Structure 1
Amino acid sequence: MADSNFIDYVKFCSRSGAGGAGSVHFRREKHVPKGGPDGGDGGRGGHIILKGSTQVWTLLHLKYKKHVIAEEGKGGEGGRRKGRDGKDVILEVPLGTIAKDAETFETRFEITEEGQEVILTRGGRGGLGNDHFKTATNQAPHFAQPGEDGIEEWIILELKLLADVGLVGFPNAGKSTLLSSISAARPEIGDYPFTTLVPNLGVIPYRDEKSFVMADIPGIIEGAAEGKGLGLRFLRHIERNSILLFMIPADSDNIKNQYKILLGELQKYNPELLDKKRLLAITKADMLDDELIGQMKKDVPKDLDSIFISSVSGYNLDKLKDMLWQAINVQ
């Protein structure tokens, strides 16, 4: 089985803290028996906050948190002393995390930068003390504001991988093998469908100490846009990749037809994906000679740059990295 530590979807109840009540208090000193109102304000309730972090790459740490509850604000005190604010709860999430309302499925915001903090569920405001309510006609108000209630809501967090290059292909197209060949990533590799059940990221070293990020994503099948196979879970991650590298093995029956199916699934899921730069790699080319490669080029789609590669022998891998780097940097 694949590593189950990659969690890209969680749902939980987020409850911010209620604000503290304002204080009803009057100044009382030895020589001031009838001082005016001096009740302090209540403290703000704690927020639930999402913070972007490059140190986490999955939502696993939130999988079993069904309720996230922030602290309530404290009540105000005499002498215009404000109550203490409730402690915020800060949840670190991977870059590429999207927060949605679980009832309406409306997207609230996205976390895309290291250290970025966004309030997910806002804490209630503290109530005003009676010091705020004195007037010329009511110099001794015996009332103050209660604190504002906190908010309780169900939230969905979805992770969409942030990578420069996303690998698109049927199961067994050689995506995991390519990633392991040109990066330090070690995805599970096997000659059977759906070896890759979770996305893998690899940093690809390039010339002059440059690098780019490649995502090996579970293989697509016909009907993925309708949820077949790994379906939407796979397609969600494709949205964030700058370049799509389509991979079709050289022993396929019909390269053009396989490419058309892959393209069709992406279009059904999100037509905007077709606006991304696309490249095509014909894998497992170590079994071909130059004459056969020349014949097969006639069956390759003419509307995109293509290359024959072999991740096992290393054939054309440096040239592939050159093509990818150029495509990334002419965006």
Structure 2
Amino acid sequence: MASSNFIDYVKFCSRSGNGGAGSVHFRREKHVPKGGPDGGDGGRGGHIILRGNAQLWTLLHLRYKKHVIAEDGQPGGGSKSSGAEGKDVILEVPLGTVAKDDETGEKIVEILEDGQEIILTPGGRGGLGNHTFKTSTNQAPHYAQPGEDGQEHWVILELKVLADIGLVGFPNAGKSTLLSVMSAAKPEVADYPFTTLVPNLGVVGYRDHRSFVIADIPGIIEGASEGKGLGIRFLRHIERNSMLLFMVPVDSEDIKKDYEILLGELTKYNPELLDKERVLAVTKADMLDEELMEAMAKELPEGIPSIFISSVAHYNLDKLKDMLWEKLNS
């Protein structure tokens, strides 16, 4: 997922089609001088529809769509013929896409399944033709319904990455390195903060041809929930993960404190994140010997399973996979 191609936020004006007007028409045939009303109904205006597509990972294809407009319905005709419906516009989006009203911020729809279709902006209903209004006391109505207007509003689409496990840590904690070693993903890896500027997904192979998906989320810093660093832009991607793998390097001044800061930022953003299963991986463990690890283990946070790992030396990675798989399936 190249950073230039990963778009997780788009805004556009969504306008559905107007409904067609009902027809005012009377049957006129030879030998039938008073055939009665036979005006048909107008066609429905086109909908704007969101459809889930599991093959999409980004909103890039919608980046330059500033106005999405559906067709109007056609008016009704004689012989009770209905007008044609306006053509719907279907926007395919990745799973995990949330649509919000730009003005109110209210969530409109959420796409979570492949092939799922939800109407984002419904088209206007077609008007009824004059044949509908015929009664015993009014056998020749000279009126019909106009079509209902379509709707128009500005919409925001936000993508929340769907993955089994989200990697949570400060910049330069080794998240991208772990992802590159455990999966076929090739995120940018370098020895400076904020190398990762977009979420990266990797499929991790497990025993008996099983697998799970890990998301490398751009690094969090203290104050991220208040907009510092990369801010909350990527915190929303963590909401979609089944569990969280916290990563703190062994050369941290205080592993327990760093973990608590990370947990605190997630809590400020969304307290429900505390309900997710959590595992702590202490990275870069190739810098330690067994004796040092035993001593440091006593200082680690309580109440969370922890493990020392090294992505470079492939130390304890199989044990980490076992821990994650067990937690995912518990």
Shift of 1:291: 1.1
Number of residue pairs matched?
329
1:7-22 pair list within 5 angstroms: 7-22=7-22
Structure 1 partner of 2:225? 225
Instruction: Tell me, in whole angstroms, the C-alpha distance in 1 between the residues paired with 2:183 and 2:308.
Output: 19
Q: Secondary structure at the match of 1:262?
A: helix
**1:186 alignment partner in structure 2:** 186
Query: What is the Cα deviation at residue 152 of structure 1?
Result: 0.4
- 1:286 is aligned to 286
Q: Which residue of 1 aligns with 2:77?
A: 77
Partner of 1:242: 242
Aligned to 1:48: 48
Q: What is the CA deviation profile of residues 16-50 of structure 1, one whole-angstrom value per residue up to 9, with x for unaligned ones?
A: 00000001111111121221100000000000000
CA deviation profile, 1:165-193 (whole Å, cap 9, x unmatched): 00000000000000010111111111111
Q: Offset of 1:106 from its aligned partner? A: 0.8
The alpha carbon displacement at 1:14 in A equals 0.4
Shift of 1:220: 0.1
Hey, what does 2:168 align to over in structure 1? 168
Matched residue SS, 1:164: strand
Aligned-partner SS, 1:299? coil
- Where 2:5 maps in the other structure, the secondary structure is coil
TM-superposition CA deviations, 1:106-164 (whole Å, max 9, x none): 11221000000000000000000000011122211111111000000111111111111
Q: Distance in 2 between matches of 1:87 and 1:217?
A: 39
Whether 2:326 is the aligned partner of 1:297: answer: no
How far is the alpha carbon of 1:4 from its aligned partner?
A: 1.7
Extract unaligned runs of 5+ from structure 2. none
In structure 1, stretches of 5+ residues that fail to align are: none
How many Å separate the matches in 1 of 2:44 and 2:86?
6
State the SS of the aligned residue for 2:282.
strand
TM-score by length of 2: 0.98
Aligned equivalents of 2:3 and 2:276: distance in 1?
A: 30
Paired position in structure 2 for 1:311:
311
Following superposition, the deviation at residue 298 of structure 1 comes to 1.7
CA RMSD of aligned residues (A): 0.8
- Give the equivalent residue in structure 2 for 1:265: 265
Name the CA distance, whole Å, in 2 between partners of 1:3 and 1:31: 74
Deviation sequence 1:73-127 (CA, Å, 0-9, x none): 0010101110000000000000001111111101122100000000000000000
2:131 equivalent to 1:102:
no
Letter aligned with residue 87 of structure 1 = K
Partner secondary structure for residue 215 of structure 2: strand
Partner of 1:329: 329
| 1:125 counterpart residue number | 125
Displacement of 1:299 in angstroms is 1.8
Give runs of ≥4 in structure 1 deviating > 2 Å: none
SS in 2 for 1:326: helix
Residue identity opposite 2:86 in structure 1: G
SS in 1 for 2:176: helix
SS in 1 for 2:39: coil
Cα distance, 1:63 vs. partner?
Answer: 1.2
